[in-house]
Amino acid sequence: MPILGLGTWKSASEDVYDAVRAAIQSGYRHIDCAMIYGNELAVGRAVNDAIAAGEVTREDLWITSKLWNNSHAEDQVVPALKKTLGDLQLDYLDLYLIHWPVAVRHEVLGAQEATDYIALADLPITTTWRGMEQAQQQGLTRLIGVSNFAKLHLEEILRDASIPPAMNQIELHPYLQQKELVDYCQERQIHLTAYSPLGSGDRPANLKGENEPSLLENETIKAIAAAKNASPAQVLIAWSIHRNVSVIPKSTNPGRIRENFAAAELELSTEELERIAQLDLHRRYVDGSFWEMDGGPYTVAALWGA
Ligand code: A2P
């Protein structure tokens, strides 16, 4: 798996076509997608146009997508994946992830009221995983994994699985280093992908807290960047690569897309890595509080296993 990929969360459909074309032309071979991003049709057009133009082959590319919360029943996984494949105009994915350990009724996308949710006690994550295993066995995806899973959710799957998850995609950056979960996964050959590696400053207002600390403005990150003639974003991306964690910075700006890709060449010294290790605030930007609703079955504490 190419360790550095292009993130597409929050990329508008009208921008993401050019972003994916620019990314492939800049050397990216890994694109991270999801049904809920609402832009897979445009990503698919870009990928297929790049292939038709002879810039890459399908086999050169690594395409990840994710199962949404409203298709967690065992027999809903393969149809959901086939819809994503249709939108992306692909025969197979490289990796398909359960997006969240959260289930909602099939008719809803985002829960509006508590009764829109289905508790994990009623639709266990192991049931969803069986659907994921069928998707892989049918050749619709080469690998399967999860996203936003805490250790307790991984343990539940690992107890029951015939195919263990190949990936856990979680929020990771210097303010949220999650060392214990990273070690747990890496010891079990569950690879990690870091989302929101730059702090996702373009999140919609309802997903933002007050007075959020800015990663890109952090003085240590800026100082390391200045000393290396690099940008703060490049330092953040390189930090993830140095942890052997895949990283998917989102950009729709061609200059920043290129800049982010060049971060793979940036070497950080042991001393610089130690300074970054000191920055941990255990601070989530995507805190999952949007799943918490009065009378509903999900709480932030249970979600992250606190
Ligand atoms: P843009 O898409 O205009 O480049 P994350 O990957 O953590 O979700 O962060 C995405 C945010 O970071 C977007 O607002 C994106 O803006 C911005 N961004 C992406 N690359 C860079 C960069 N190299 N320098 C500064 N901001 C960046």
Distance 64 CA to ligand 1 centre (A): 20
Q: Which atom of ligand 1 is nearest to the CA of 198?
A: 7
Residue at 266: amino acid letter = L
Given the DSSP bridges, would you call strands 30-32 and 6-7 parallel, antiparallel or unpaired?
Answer: parallel
Helices 77-88 and 40-52 sit at what angle, rounded to 10 degrees? 50
- Measured by CA distance, the residue closest to atom 26 of ligand 1 is 233
pLDDT of residue 24: 98
User: Contact, 174 vs 280, CB < 8 A?
Assistant: yes
Q: Which atom of ligand 1 is nearest to the CA of 173?
A: 7
Q: Which atom of ligand 1 is nearest to the CA of 250?
A: 6
Residues with CB under 6 A from ligand 1: 7, 196-202, 216, 231, 233, 249-253, 256, 259-260
3-state SS assignment for residue 175: coil
**Helices assigned H by DSSP within 116-211:** 125-137, 151-160, 179-187
**Rounded to whole angstroms, how far apart are CA atoms 298 and 102?**
8
- Measured by CA distance, the residue closest to atom 1 of ligand 1 is 251
In tens digits, the chain (306 residues) has pLDDT values of 999 999 999 999 999 999 999 999 999 999 999 999 999 999 999 999 999 999 999 999 999 999 999 999 999 999 999 999 999 999 999 999 999 999 999 999 999 999 999 999 999 999 999 999 999 999 999 999 999 999 999 999 999 999 999 999 999 999 999 999 999 999 999 999 999 999 999 999 989 988 899 999 999 999 999 999 999 999 999 999 999 999 999 999 999 999 999 999 999 999 999 999 999 999 999 999 999 999 999 999 999 996
pLDDT of residue 126: 98
pLDDT of residue 209: 87
Distance 253 CA to ligand 1 centre (A): 8
Q: Which architecture does CATH list for 6-204+245-252+281-303?
A: Alpha-Beta Barrel (3.20)
Distance 249 CA to ligand 1 centre (A): 7
pLDDT of residue 210: 87
Distance 286 CA to ligand 1 centre (A): 15
pLDDT of residue 71: 98
Listed by start position, the domains of the chain span 6-204+245-252+281-303
Annotated active-site positions, please? 37
Phi, psi of 3 (to 5 degrees): -70, -25
